[in-house]
Amino acid sequence: MRLRAMVTLLTLSILIFPIDVQANLNQEPGGGRFYLSCTDDETCQLTPTPIGEEIISGQSTSTFIQNDVLNFEFDLSPEQSHIALLPLELEELSVDLIQQTESLGIFRPEAEIRLITGQNVNSWTFESTTFSSPSAYEPYRLENEPMTYDFSRVVWPGDQVKLFVSIVLDQPGTWELRLRGNSFINLDIDWSIDPNIADVDEPSSQLQPVETEFEILHFGALLGEDKDCWRFEVQTNEIMRLYIDWLEAPLEVEQPHSVPLVFDSTGKELPYPEIVSEFEEGNLRIIYRWRAVPIDTYTVCFSGQDTRFQQYQWGGSFGFESLGPVNPDGFQPFSYFPSGSSFLGNADSTVSLDKQGISGLIFFGILFLFSLLLFTQPTTNLTLRYMIFLPGVLFLLVGGVILPTISISQQSQDDNMISFDELFDMRLSQLWDVAAPGIPEQNLYRHSGATFGLLHSDSFTLRLNVQRAYELDDGRWQLQIEELQSFRIDEAIFTQISKGGAQLSDSGMLEDHTVRFILLSGRSLLLDLLMLESMLIVDEKPTSSVFDIKLEMISTTPAGSVNAPAWATRPTSVSESDWSKLQSSLFPDRLTISLCDCELDLVDVRFEPSNRFDASDVPTAKYVVNYPNVAYEIWLFAWVGVVLCAYAGSIEIKRIIVARKLAIQASVQSKMWK
């Protein structure tokens, strides 16, 4: 009995008094899910497990004239200790409050719910609702609700995280707030980190640098305006290279990646280095190269910026002149799109598609028709006129004028139709704009991660001329267009830089805006082209070279990483599951974009396609439209008309010749009688 009493007392204490748990917004499973918990009417918290009172209730004597207002504040406890990136949508919110009134029965009062995260406030209002029975009652509920951020999406250690619930009671009755798992909030945190664990290099500063060796791997992090410094000895060398890998972090907290300060024992700085930047799936590697650095003791310092955090790894090497990753000769001379990376067709079963030659028929038909009408005299033979000549004119009119005109009008580009070149010119212009300094990071994510740059509810029609089609094993056909085979990524990027009016920095190197754009656009272009190539699959054997891709896009779960999303919009005709399957199978095994900011600016694309991609991953292409090849039918109509009119014309000409001879003979005979 004594043991049972102790267990009961312990259980009650756990239910009533909150336990000290780590209630942090973080990326761990359940790290964004919190329960509304109260130990009494005055003490409420957001806790990762449901604790405290099961129900808080009270009696209201409010009326329409005199309202009662219930205010509940649920604070995150203990305070936030991680750096976390908040989502763009509130995944789920449920507040279970009900009122039993004498006049209305089951009643849910008017409410306002505010979520406070740092300096941001998101607010939702609910109107009062009456329910016919307790079984029909529903709590205040939100699912996949968009969130707005007037300030940064990032919460920092010590930032306020609070849920404020305000209930307006205008009816007398008993109210109940149901807790212990019935009321909760769920935020899907995309990224988080504990800065106290990640910032392992401290203490280090310019006045107290850490003594180290240059050619070993170092780990560190820049928290805010940190300045991390290391001191090392420089050996005999012709080339000194410093490598720094900036680990993946959201753009909202990413450090500026400024050139590190390197100075000798006298405080003299090294000259500006040659730089190679490589971007690979969220991680950025920057390689700095100096030539013939004198032997001495040097200090390298990495500087951070306020309200920023990012981990890094760095190391170095000494070497002698040779080709290497920071030498322009180590880059490919041209960065063509690797056409055929998503090719699935059978080269032995190929259809060549020629352009439809029907435009010349209109001029030919009109010219021949007018020639017949102007120079052919109507015959007096009704059978010839109505059974041969008139049908010939009609065939020629239909095949030489009407059908070509209709076909050309159907295939002409409307205001919403764009070409391949126009699509990617717009894409590059979009990326140039969003990569500019001062653009909100969430806008950069939203635009760069969108498929072809098309956002939610955007639509367009892409006109393509297809050269060949290859049959797949499942009976479908994969299309091949010339633009994908000859697309130069580097040429397109530097053309946009020229259009954008990029300037050089004071040191003669590319500006941060330009470097950021090159790395961003190189990756985005390759992924867009890869997706376009994979989508060019149709169910039926093509009959003409003219195709339209008609897309209306909606938001979806992106592929890639939090710092480099991809294909975040999908066609409405493709389901979420089909698009996710296509994303996962098509996404490259490796994708690296390199920029050499040296004597000759170069872009290099290293690409390893996925070995998981096959025809079963491509959904049915309801968005691809093939215009029928009507050139044969049009020419047939026109030539039937030509033959009939020519036949009728030849008979008419013979009739005229015979009539003329008869007239001459009659004229001679009449003169003879005179």
Scanning 116-221, the segments in alpha helix (DSSP H) are 195-198
Average pLDDT over residues 146-175: 90
CB neighbour list of residue 609: distance below 8 Å, 6 or more residues apart? 338, 341, 342, 530, 588, 589
Q: Give residue 377's pLDDT.
A: 54
pLDDT tens-digit readout, 287-304: 999 988 999 999 999 999
Residue 33, classified by CB atoms within 10 Å of its CB into exposed (0-12), middle (13-18) or buried (19+), is: middle
User: Given the structure tokens 């009008």, which residue do they identify?
Assistant: 409
Q: Give residue 265's pLDDT.
A: 93
Mapped onto helix, strand or coil, the DSSP state of residue 665 is helix
Residue 457 pLDDT greater than 70, yes or no? yes
Sign of CA dihedral 587, 198, 75, 54: positive
Residue 369 pLDDT greater than 70, yes or no? no
Q: Which two tokens stand for residue 9?
A: 């007392």
pLDDT tens-digit readout, 467-476: 889 998 888 9
Q: Give residue 363's pLDDT.
A: 53
565 sits in which H/E element = strand 564-566
Q: Taking a C-beta distance cutoff of 8 angstroms, is the pair 77, 46 a contact?
A: yes
Mean pLDDT, all residues of the chain:
82
**Closest alpha carbon to 603 in 612, 616, 592:** 592
CB neighbour list of residue 364: distance below 8 Å, 6 or more residues apart? 400, 638
153 secondary structure, DSSP code: S
Please report how the helices 441-448 and 420-434 are oriented relative to each other, as an axis angle in degrees rounded to 10: 160
Residue 322 pLDDT greater than 60, yes or no? no
Residue 586 to residue 580: CA distance in whole angstroms: 10
pLDDT tens-digit readout, 512-556: 889 889 999 999 999 999 999 999 999 888 888 888 899 899 999
Mapped onto helix, strand or coil, the DSSP state of residue 340 is coil
664 sits in which H/E element = helix 631-673
Percent of the chain with pLDDT over 70: 81
Which string of DSSP letters, residue by residue, matches 424-463?
A: HHHHHHHHHHHTSTTS-HHHHHHHHTSGGG--TT-EEEEE
Residue 647 to residue 122: CA distance in whole angstroms: 82
Four-CA torsion 332, 336, 341, 346, nearest 10 degrees: -120
Q: Which of 446-455, 482-491, 611-620, 635-644 has the lowest mean pLDDT?
A: 635-644
* Domain 2-151+159-189 in CATH 3.40.50: no
Q: Which two tokens stand for residue 470?
A: 């290859």
Architecture of domain 196-326: Sandwich (2.60)
Kindly list the distances between the CA atom of residue 655 and the CA atoms of 178, 380, 659, in Å, as whole numbers in the listed order. 104, 10, 6
**Closest alpha carbon to 45 in 14, 18, 25, 83:** 18
Q: Which of 17-31, 120-134, 269-283 has the lowest mean pLDDT?
A: 17-31
pLDDT band at 1 (very low <50, low <70, confident <90, very high): very low
What is the pTM for the complete model shown?
0.73
Q: How far is CA 607 from the centre of its chain?
A: 19
Residue 66 pLDDT greater than 90, yes or no? no
Q: Taking a C-beta distance cutoff of 8 angstroms, is the pair 569, 450 a contact?
A: yes
Q: Select the highest-mean-pLDDT range: 376-390, 479-493, 496-510.
A: 479-493
Residue ranges, comma separated, of all CATH 2.60.120.380 domains in the chain are: 196-326
